[in-house]
Amino acid sequence: MPPGGERLDDALRLDGINCAIFDHVSLAHATDEALQISWASDITVQDSMLGETVGDHADRGGVLMNYSHPDHPQDRIALIRNLWYRVGGRMPEITCEASNYDNGEPGLIASCQNTPLHLELANNLYADPGFVLWYNRDVDQNPANGPYRVRANIVGNRFVARSSYPYGMFLHDLLDVADNQLYVSDNQLSRYPSWSDYQLFYCCNDFASQGPNADLGVAQRRSTRHPFPFPSTDMAQSSLAAYIPTHAGAQPLDKLDRRWRDSALGGLPPAVDWGTPLGSDDFDLDFNPANPPAPPADSDGDGMPNAFEQNNGLNPNNAADRNGTGLSLACTGVTGFTNLECYLHRMNMGVIGVPPLFANGFES
């Protein structure tokens, strides 16, 4: 670890990355953010778990989206079907401050001014959130620089909040920028089951007495969603509490993942401060690391077990068939995915002939 540990404080940091999908990951017990996305574009984080940031940064421990550069713009980011477990803040935080991409030169703001952020925030379940989705409306937090513009689909998200939670769901500033274009649908905060969407935009910590919001601001409120991403991912938010905890996270689920899953399925976690994890199980394994379970037989080393290849008409002694696409249509409904991708997809969906997800001898 470098002096001060500043390079390892996030569970996952995406700096300057382009065109990536992070699927079924678990991000826990960071000391800064669970996830930071900086100078990044065409990023999807889906079907994942994040939460329980440790210590005095827990109130900002969720997802920070910041910084844009002409060569590394911040744009086209999707956060889909994730479990946010006991996250104290940054749900995410949307901001764009002066920066220069890792070269020590003075910070620039032109990309923040010229590149609107296209954001998909869909079907996320927040178990015991501590704050709203935050938005710093001004580039580099300076009104003279103009607004940081947002094009967003905010669809089917659910906050399951403790009874003392004092806020709305989204910062009202998103509605106060005329150039923002928002499609907001089917979002709900558990404390106020009869309110939804624009009624949940608010500024302050007295929402319980001042809500629901009736100030629709000046942003462009779309009646149809922005045409991204493809395919559409919409699920009803009412189904998230049962679906997300049982489908999100790194597979096979370890002790921490299962704790989060079971806690979220049970409703609200205990109302303790967000900086204190409810368990010290982030490195607990279900097996002796000196004697791990044996992997399934894979004669050609192509990543697909012999049994899967034999059951699907492939050759367990031909490594090249992992890049074939013969299984794609039957597996996913579309053409173009490789046989190896189909194996991974089917394993995730639990349809490869073994009842539990990723059955491997050490998952309970």
Architecture (CATH level 2) of domain 9-265: 3 Solenoid (2.160)
Query: What's residue 362's pLDDT?
Result: 33
Task: Single out the residue of 154, 167, 71 nearest to residue 110, CA to CA.
Answer: 71
- 153-159-161 Cα angle (round to 5): 160
Q: Which region among 99-103, 216-220, 250-254 has the lowest average model confidence (pLDDT)?
A: 99-103
Q: What amino acid is encoded at 299 in this protein?
A: S
pLDDT tens track for 173-194 = 999 999 999 999 999 999 999 9
d(CA 201, CA 174): 8
Q: CB burial class (10 A; 0-12, 13-18, 19+) of residue 51?
A: buried
82 phi-psi bin (left φ>0, alpha ψ -120 to 50, beta other): beta
Quickly state the pLDDT bin for 1 (edges 50, 70, 90): very low
Q: Which residue has the higher pLDDT, 353 or 233?
A: 233
Assess contact for 322 and 304: CB atoms under 8 A.
Answer: yes
User: Within 13 Å of residue 345, how many CA atoms lie on the same side as its CB?
Assistant: 13
Query: What's residue 284's pLDDT?
Result: 86
Query: What's residue 299's pLDDT?
Result: 96
Query: What's residue 118's pLDDT?
Result: 98
Query: What's residue 348's pLDDT?
Result: 72
Q: Is 304 helix (H, G, I), strand (E, B) or coil?
A: coil
Assess contact for 241 and 125: CB atoms under 8 A.
Answer: yes
pLDDT tens track for 133-165 = 999 999 999 999 999 999 999 999 999 999 999
- The residues near 129 (Cβ < 8 Å, ≥ 6 apart) are 84, 87, 88, 91, 159, 160, 161, 165
**Mean local confidence (pLDDT), 114-118:** 97
Q: In 47-169, where do the E strands start and end?
A: 49-51, 63-66, 75-80, 83-85, 93-94, 117-122, 125-127, 134-135, 150-155, 158-160
pLDDT tens track for 295-318 = 899 999 999 999 999 999 999 999
Quickly state the pLDDT bin for 287 (edges 50, 70, 90): confident
d(CA 282, CA 29): 7
d(CA 317, CA 314): 9
Assess contact for 195 and 189: CB atoms under 8 A.
Answer: yes
pTM as predicted:
0.88
Query: What's residue 117's pLDDT?
Result: 98
Query: What's residue 351's pLDDT?
Result: 42
Assess contact for 143 and 173: CB atoms under 8 A.
Answer: no
Buried b (16+ CB within 10 A) or exposed e, 102-139: eeeeeebbebbbebbbbbbbbbbbbbbbbbbbbbbbbb
**Mean local confidence (pLDDT), 285-289:** 85
β-sheet with 49-51: strand ranges across: 26-28, 49-51, 83-85, 125-127, 158-160, 188-189
For residue 189, the surrounding DSSP H or E stretch is strand 188-189
CATH 2.160.20 residue window(s) in the chain: 9-265
pLDDT tens track for 310-356 = 999 999 999 999 999 999 998 888 899 999 999 988 877 664 343 33
Residue with tokens 């997300």: 244
**Mean local confidence (pLDDT), 96-111:** 83
Assess contact for 159 and 188: CB atoms under 8 A.
Answer: yes
Query: What's residue 364's pLDDT?
Result: 33
Query: What's residue 42's pLDDT?
Result: 96
| Averaged pLDDT score across all residues of the chain | 90
- Residue 363: is its pLDDT beyond 80? no
- Residue 12: is its pLDDT beyond 90? yes
**Mean local confidence (pLDDT), 44-67:** 94
Rg (CA), the chain: 22
**Mean local confidence (pLDDT), 40-56:** 95
Distance of CA 332 to the CA centre of its chain: 23
**Mean local confidence (pLDDT), 74-99:** 97
β-sheet with 93-94: strand ranges across: 12-15, 35-38, 63-66, 93-94, 134-135
